[in-house]
Structure 1
Amino acid sequence: MTVLGDGVDALARESGFSGVVSVDRGGVPVFAEAYSLADRRHHVANTLETRFGIVSGTKGLTALTVVSLIEHGALSLSTTARSVLGRDLPLIDQRVTVEHLLGHRSGIGDYFDEDAGGEITDYQLTVPAHELSTTEAYLPVLDGYPAKFPPGERFSYCNSGYVVLALIAERVAGRPFHELVRDRVCAPADMCGTEFLRSDELPPGTATGYLPIEGVSRTNVFHLPVRGSGDGGIYSTADDISALWRVLFAGRIVSRDWGATMTRRHSDVPSKDRRYGLGFWLHASNDTVMPTGYDAGVSFRSVHDPQACLTHTVLSNTSDDAWKISRYLDQNLVPESG
């Protein structure tokens, strides 16, 4: 094992990490290891092929789906949400556009406002989790939240905005959002292990999410929608995430020009020491793309440096496990080989 691998291994043992860690350079593996259990009840181990929820990492796939529809003429950045939503969600300002939603600059009220603070496991859905199996079913969850500020005024991370984008995508395309992501993003990227799964019927090879309750192995099944939508909930593998970066910057999902537009700065976010593009978090001062996902029983972070073709990805089936190892990789990986 390399020095890097020794360090990851030691940190994983020390922290009790559960998940997968992957590092590759230009698609060539540098380090990959799986730790602990995908299913604690049945003592099923995580493997490099295990699928994990990536929660808000889904937003990048949502953005790519929407931009692919823009490229094919079904939408534009200036399309207003109201022109597609009709009478649904009447509190959304008529000036809110697809571009505002993609860049978290819409100002719409958020059903899950992460800026409000509190523990991630404290949030309670306003409808039964099992009812949220389609994007249209999210309408009662999204409704009733007043606007926070006028469209375009500033950045404010908004989960509701990405469910609205999913609604817009499926209404203009005339197909379910989950199918659009599969056909417009996952298929061209050969992401065969990436899918919107139901949490109450996870297939073999998929990690169950566990809550951070000491001495208890309680799953997250009651804390998240039974099937995700535009703001989160897709399941993926380390190999698929790596493949996504390669094909995104090769222009195989959307054109290279659109890929560059999505991964350039549209907002500075000093409070997070990051910037934001269209669907992707960005490093504060360079071209590195760094989607992150955090929810009850799930944590995910992937960091891709397109100049060095260097990627590291950490997926975990617990709420907090991804962060220590991902920060270690930030500090110990360098663009040069070796």
Structure 2
Amino acid sequence: MTLNQQLSKIQKDIDFSGSIKVNKYKKTVIEESYGFANRSEQIKNHLHTRFGIASGCKLFTAISICQLVEAGKLTFETKLKNCLNIDLSHWDEEITVHHLLTHTSGIPDYFDEDEMDDFEELWVKTPMYHIRSLQDFLPLFMNKGMKSKVGEKFHYNNAGYILLGLVVEQVSGQYFTDYIEENIFRRAGMNDSGYFEMDRLPEKTALGYIDFQDGSWKTNTYSLPVKGGSDGGAYVTACDMIRFWEALINHQLLNKSITDLLLNSHVQVREEGYYGYGVWIKRKNNQLLKYHVMGYDPGVSFHSAYYPSSSHTLAVCSNKSDGAFDMMKVMEEELIVR
């Protein structure tokens, strides 16, 4: 069975909706799109469809911090209290930028997966249509005490990346989303990507869909903040994500030494899994397998990776709550990890 046949079979089995693209040495290996960007109007997904990527864009936030470090405007050891003009009295004064980047700060999260299963529960008391800026997230976590000691352990934390976005705003003097669009998307040639408001999405943008067991569905319009920010919520195309990896690898976004720091295995999370700055790293038997990012929200699933040993880049964007992992896995098995 050819790879295309395998992908087609899995797509039918799981009803995958989205776009996939794999490149090697800047040459296309495979690119396909499935399903509908808009089910009601029967508008199909295509390679230039924009998809939400949830937490997949934490790497953009980390790169923006690294750019400010490269410019000499702060360091990874700069303490949070010295780069944010907000009340941090509930937290340890020793928290640094490095701690936030590596999810080791110990601060509370606004969505803690240990305490809450459904992301939609957040918006019962705080309507999602009020969340349009990074400042709007602060009441969700700022008055809670420390969850663990600074640097004690890795605990995935969205709130930490909200704070990093606020650092970008304060240090650069720009709105976070404007900074990313200017200093990452434009520099990488990601001309179809951006941070869009869900109540005013541009053309060629997929609606996210939440499916139910009885066959019914709804869009994710009332399930997510109306505008994404530094912890998640950008929109990209599969083609743009390939351009992003190529720009990062070729040092168009950061110089080599800072890029190496970004991609360094700062924290071991599990046996083969590590975390750099905003990026997951997989190693096996001391061999580097891939750098990857992922994102899951109601109506969103996303995986994208760079494989140094083979120079493959991969992007799987979906406008459903799952499916991206399954498509990525078969492409890895057939094209890359042999």
Do these two structures clear the TM 0.5 threshold for a shared fold by scoring above it? yes
Distance in structure 2 (CA, Å) of the matches to 1:81 and 1:278:
16
> In the TM superposition, what whole-angstrom CA distance separates every residue of 1:281-303 from its partner, at most 9, and x where no partner exists?
11133151010101111000012
The answer for the alignment partner of 1:57 in structure 2 is: 56
Distance in structure 1 (CA, Å) of the matches to 2:163 and 2:125:
17
Q: Which deviates more from structure 2 when the two are superposed, residues 77-86 or residues 24-33?
A: 77-86
Distance in structure 2 (CA, Å) of the matches to 1:327 and 1:166:
32
Q: What SS is found at the alignment partner of 1:200?
A: coil
Q: TM-score scaled to structure 2, two decimals?
A: 0.94
The answer for the alignment partner of 2:261 in structure 1 is: 261
**How many pairs align?**
334
Contact 1:89–1:142 (8 Å) recurs in 2:
no
Structure 1: tracts of 5 or more residues without a match = none
The answer for the alignment partner of 1:308 in structure 2 is: 310
> In the TM superposition, what whole-angstrom CA distance separates every residue of 1:33-88 from its partner, at most 9, and x where no partner exists?
10010011111110110000011011000000111011111111111111222343
| One-letter code aligned to 2:316 | V
Distance in structure 1 (CA, Å) of the matches to 2:88 and 2:247:
35
**What's the offset of the Cα at 1:126?**
4.3
Contact 2:305–2:314 (8 Å) recurs in 1:
yes
**Higher share in strand:** 2
Contact 1:249–1:306 (8 Å) recurs in 2:
no
Cα RMSD (Å): 1.7
The answer for the alignment partner of 1:199 in structure 2 is: 198
Distance in structure 1 (CA, Å) of the matches to 2:303 and 2:325:
8
User: After the TM superposition, which residues 278-317 of structure 1 pair with which residues of structure 2 at under 5 Å, given as runs?
Assistant: 278-285=277-284, 286-317=288-319
> In the TM superposition, what whole-angstrom CA distance separates every residue of 1:2-55 from its partner, at most 9, and x where no partner exists?
921221111111211100111111221111010010011111110110000011
Contact 2:120–2:224 (8 Å) recurs in 1:
no
Q: What SS is found at the alignment partner of 1:183?
A: helix
| One-letter code aligned to 1:230 | S
User: After the TM superposition, which residues 82-93 of structure 1 pair with which residues of structure 2 at under 5 Å, given as runs?
Assistant: 82-93=81-92
Q: 1:276 to 1:261 in 2, by over 3 A?
A: same
Contact 1:81–1:97 (8 Å) recurs in 2:
yes
Q: Which deviates more from structure 2 when the two are superposed, residues 138-147 or residues 55-64?
A: 138-147
> In the TM superposition, what whole-angstrom CA distance separates every residue of 1:257-314 from its partner, at most 9, and x where no partner exists?
111111121111117x511001101113315101010111100001211232102211
Distance in structure 2 (CA, Å) of the matches to 1:289 and 1:125:
36
**What's the offset of the Cα at 1:121?**
4.7
> In the TM superposition, what whole-angstrom CA distance separates every residue of 1:201-235 from its partner, at most 9, and x where no partner exists?
11110000111323222011111110011100000
> In the TM superposition, what whole-angstrom CA distance separates every residue of 1:143-199 from its partner, at most 9, and x where no partner exists?
222211121111111000000000011011111001111111111101111100001
Q: TM-score scaled to structure 1, two decimals?
A: 0.94
User: After the TM superposition, which residues 32-71 of structure 1 pair with which residues of structure 2 at under 5 Å, given as runs?
Assistant: 32-71=31-70
Q: What SS is found at the alignment partner of 2:218?
A: coil
Q: What SS is found at the alignment partner of 1:187?
A: helix
Contact 1:310–1:335 (8 Å) recurs in 2:
no
Q: 1:26 to 1:125 in 2, by over 3 A?
A: farther
| One-letter code aligned to 2:234 | I
Distance in structure 1 (CA, Å) of the matches to 2:26 and 2:144:
43
Distance in structure 1 (CA, Å) of the matches to 2:28 and 2:337:
14
Q: What SS is found at the alignment partner of 2:212?
A: coil
The answer for the alignment partner of 2:232 in structure 1 is: 232
Q: 1:122 to 1:37 in 2, by over 3 A?
A: same
